[in-house]
């Protein structure tokens, strides 16, 4: 098991890159986040953004909506029970969310941010107070829906969309590694 776990700094760094990628708001921040992975496949900034929008943003129906609610509750809705469950978790973890009621809490970028901060707390600050909640957040929520997003995106993938494929693989590997680290004792 232990061999699957990334070195601490790398684990955090991967998480941070994934977070930044999915939270990118424009072509520059997206390209920066993409380049941070140092992948072999290079891609033009505008091309990358067009791809990213087609997969995760819109305005047309994205290949894979980036919200947990779509996979867990209702394929067409945001701000569902799952979203409010994540809201409750964040609040219990001591987070304040400035975009509350604007961008749903279960957006992939927001969840990766929360997860990053929780890992940071444990790894950098050696604070374990939120660990159990973090495990719960991962196993009962993230690990349930993000693989579905990956699967949907892979399924809807077009030939040549390698940049997205690389990111999805990074996310997938990350999830697999995290999955092996903890489980519920029930």
Decide: 114 and 93 in contact? Cβ < 8 Å: yes
Residue 174: strand, helix, or coil: helix
Decide: 163 and 3 in contact? Cβ < 8 Å: no
Residue 111 CB neighbour total at 10 angstroms: 25
Decide: 30 and 49 in contact? Cβ < 8 Å: yes
Decide: 108 and 67 in contact? Cβ < 8 Å: yes
From 34, 37, 90, 145, residue interacting with other proteins (rule: CB under 8 A): 90
The span of 85-93, 149-157, 160-168, 170-178 binding other proteins (CB under 8 A) equals 85-93
Q: Tell whether residue 3 is a contact of other proteins (CB under 8 A).
A: no
Smallest CA-to-CA distance from 150 within 11, 16, 22 is with 22
Q: Smallest distance, Å, CB 35 to other proteins?
A: 18
Q: Which is nearer to other proteins, 36 or 93 (CB)?
A: 93
Q: Tell whether residue 15 is a contact of other proteins (CB under 8 A).
A: no
From 132, 158, 169, 173, residue interacting with other proteins (rule: CB under 8 A): 132
According to DSSP, the residues that pair with 67 across neighbouring strands are 107
Residue 67: strand, helix, or coil: strand
From 6, 36, 39, 133, residue interacting with other proteins (rule: CB under 8 A): 133
Binding residues among 150-179 for other proteins as defined by CB under 8 A: none
From 110, 153, 164, 171, residue interacting with other proteins (rule: CB under 8 A): 110
Q: Tell whether residue 23 is a contact of other proteins (CB under 8 A).
A: yes
Residue 80 CB neighbour total at 10 angstroms: 17
Decide: 171 and 116 in contact? Cβ < 8 Å: no
Q: Smallest distance, Å, CB 2 to other proteins?
A: 11
Q: Tell whether residue 78 is a contact of other proteins (CB under 8 A).
A: yes
Q: Which is nearer to other proteins, 130 or 153 (CB)?
A: 130
Q: Tell whether residue 61 is a contact of other proteins (CB under 8 A).
A: yes
From 43, 89, 146, 164, residue interacting with other proteins (rule: CB under 8 A): 89
């Amino acid at each position: 098991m232990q061999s699957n776990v990334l070195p601490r700094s790398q684990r955090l760094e991967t998480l941070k890159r994934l977070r930044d990628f999915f939270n990118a708001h424009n072509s520059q921040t997206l390209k920066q986040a993409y380049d941070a992975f140092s992948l072999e496949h290079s891609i033009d900034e505008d091309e990358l953004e067009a791809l990213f929008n087609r997969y995760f943003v819109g305005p047309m129906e994205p290949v894979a909506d980036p919200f947990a609610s779509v996979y867990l509750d209702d394929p067409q809705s945001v701000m569902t029970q799952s979203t409010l469950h994540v809201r409750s978790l964040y609040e219990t973890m001591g987070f304040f969310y400035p975009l509350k009621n604007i961008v749903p809490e279960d957006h992939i970028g927001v969840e990766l941010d929360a997860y990053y901060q929780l890992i940071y707390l444990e790894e950098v600050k050696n604070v374990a107070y939120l660990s159990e909640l973090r495990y719960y957040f991962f196993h009962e929520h993230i690990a349930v829906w993000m693989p579905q997003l990956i699967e949907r995106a892979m399924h809807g993938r077009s030939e040549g969309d390698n940049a997205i494929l690389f990111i999805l693989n990074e996310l997938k590997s990350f999830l697999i590694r995290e999955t092996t680290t903890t489980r519920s004792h029930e």
